[in-house]
Structure 1
Amino acid sequence: MTTTFLLVRHAAHDRVGCFLAGRTGDVPLGIAGREQAQRLAARLAGEGIGSIYASPRKRTQETAAAIAAASDVAEVVTTEALDEVDFGDWSGKTFDVLDTDPLWRRWNAMRSLVRAPGGETMLDVQCRAVGLVAALAQRHGQEKVALVSHADVIKTLVCHILGLSSDAWPRFDIAPASVSVLVMGDWGAKIQTLNENVS
C-alpha cells in the first residue's frame, strides 16, 4: 500500500521575496498569483487527486480551492499542521530589516537549533508536518493526496524524508506553485520529484 502526497507550495502573493509574510494578517494571492494558481490547478486536474489538505493561511486556501475545483474534490480540509512557520516577532518585517538582526542570521545558519523570537523552531515545524503525513498515510491508503502549504514547511518535510538536517534547507528550492511528490508505504518513504514547476 503506497500513499502519494503532492506537496504544493501556494501560488505567489504580490510581495513574495520582499517581506516575511509568515502568519501576519492574512496575505492573499495577487492577480498574478491567482492566474498562477489556475494554471497549477489545470495541470493537476488529471492527477486523480482524492483529498486536499491546506494550511489555514489565505494564500494556501485560495490555491487549494483552485485545485479542488479543477480536480472535482468537494472539500479542502484545513489543518494547523501545514501552517506557515510561526516566526513570532519577525512576522511582517521586510528582509532588509531582518538582515540587520544577528538572531535572524543565526536562524538561517542553524535552523535546527535557533527559535524564532516568540515563535517556533524548525524542529517544531518538522514534527507537526511529519506527524500529519504519517497519520494521513494510514487514513488514505493508496489515495493521492494534495498538501498545500509553505516553502519552509515543505522543505523541512523533504529534509526529514531524505535524512538531512533541517539546516540543509538552502540546498534546494521550493518555488511558488511548485509540486514535489512524496510516496509513503510500509517499506518507508521517498521523494519522487522535487520543486516541479507545473504552472
Structure 2
Amino acid sequence: MTTTFLLVRHAAHDNVGSFLAGRSADVPLGGAGREQATRLAARLAREDIGAIYASPRKRTQETAAAIAAVSGLGEVKTVDALDEVDFGSWSGKTFEVLNSDPLWRQWNCTRSLVRAPGGETMLDVQQRIVALVETLCTQSGGEKIVFVSHADVIKAMICQVLGLSTDAWARFDIAPASISAVVAGVWGAKVLQLNETQDAAR
C-alpha cells in the first residue's frame, strides 16, 4: 500500500521576495495570491484527496481552505510539523538587511550546519516533516494527502526523498501555489512531480 503526498506551497502574499515572513509576521494572502489559490484549488479538485493538512500560518490556512472548499473536505488539519522554518530573530527582516548578516550568508551556503539565531537548522525541519510522513503512511489506506506548507519545508522533504543534502535547497524551485508530489510505501519513497505551477492563462 502506498500513500501519495501532494506538497503544496501556499499562494503568494503581497510582499513575497521582499522580506522574510517566517513565523513572526502572520501575513495573509494578497490579491494575486487569492487568485492563485483559486486556480490551485480548481486543479486539485481533479484529485481524489483524502485529507488536507496545513501549517498554522494564515497564508497556508487560507490556501488550504480554498482547496478544501472545492474538494468536498470540510476539515483542514493544522499540524506544527508543516510550520514555516523557525528563523528566530531573522523573522520579519527585509532581505536587504539579512544580506548584510554574515550568518545569513553562511546559512544559505551550508544550511545543514547553520542554525538560525534562536531558531532551527534545516535538518530540524527535515526531521519533523519526514516524521509526519512516516506517521501518516502507517495510518493511511493508500489515499492522497495534501500538505499545505512553505517552500523550505517542502524542499527539505524533496531533498530527503532524493537522497540530497539539505544544502541542495537552491538547486530547484518551489514556487508559490505550486504542487510537488511524493509517493511513499514500505519500499521507500520517490518524487512523482516537482513544482507544478498554475498558469493564469490556462
The 5 Å alignment of 1:16-31 reads 16-31=16-31
1:77-127 CA distance string (max 9 Å, x none): 000000000000000000000000000000000000000001011010000
For 1:21 and 1:54, the matched residues in 2 are separated by: 17
Structure 1 position 90 matched with structure 2 position 81? no
The equivalent of 1:185 in structure 2 is: 185
1:198 Cα deviation from its structure 2 partner = 3.1
Amino acid at match of 1:8: V
Deviations 1:157-186 (A, max 9, x none): 100010000000000000000000100011
Structure 2 residue runs without a partner (length 5+)? none
TM-score, length basis structure 1: 0.99
Distance 2:31 2:176 in 1: 14
Q: What's the counterpart of residue 139 of structure 1?
A: 139
Aligned-partner Cα distance in 2 for 1:26–1:100 = 24
C-alpha distance in structure 2 between counterparts of 1:25 and 1:172, whole Å: 26
Task: Measure the CA separation in 1 of the matches of 2:34 and 2:136.
Answer: 28
Question: CA offsets per residue over residues 26-65 of structure 1, 9 Å max, x none?
Answer: 1100111011101100111010111000000000000000
Superposition map of 1:1-199 within 5 A = 1-198=1-198
CA distance, structure 1, for counterparts of residue 18 and residue 162 of structure 2: 30
**Alpha-carbon distance, 1:74 to partner:** 1.7
Partner of 1:147: helix, strand, or coil? strand
CA distance in 2, matches of 1:176, 1:138: 30
Task: Please list every run of 5 or more consecutive structure 1 residues that lacks an aligned counterpart in the other structure.
Answer: none
- Distance, in Å, in 2 between the alignment partners of 1:90 and 1:14 is 19
Distance 2:77 2:187 in 1: 27
Which amino acid is the alignment partner of residue 23 of structure 2?
R
Q: Quote how far apart the aligned CAs of 1:141 are.
A: 2.4
Separation of aligned partners in 2, 1:141 and 1:22: 34
Give me the CA root mean square deviation.
0.7
SS in 1 for 2:15: coil
Cα distance in 1 for residues equivalent to 2:139 and 2:96: 43
Q: Distance in 2 between matches of 1:120 and 1:113?
A: 10
Looking at structure 2, the residues matched to 44 and 19 of structure 1 have their Cα atoms a distance apart, in angstroms, of 29
How many angstroms apart in 2 are the aligned matches of 1:141 and 1:151?
27
Q: How many residues in Structure 1 have an aligned counterpart in Structure 2?
A: 199
Q: Kindly provide the amino acid, as one letter, of the partner of residue 61 in structure 2.
A: Q
TM-score scaled by length of structure 2 = 0.97
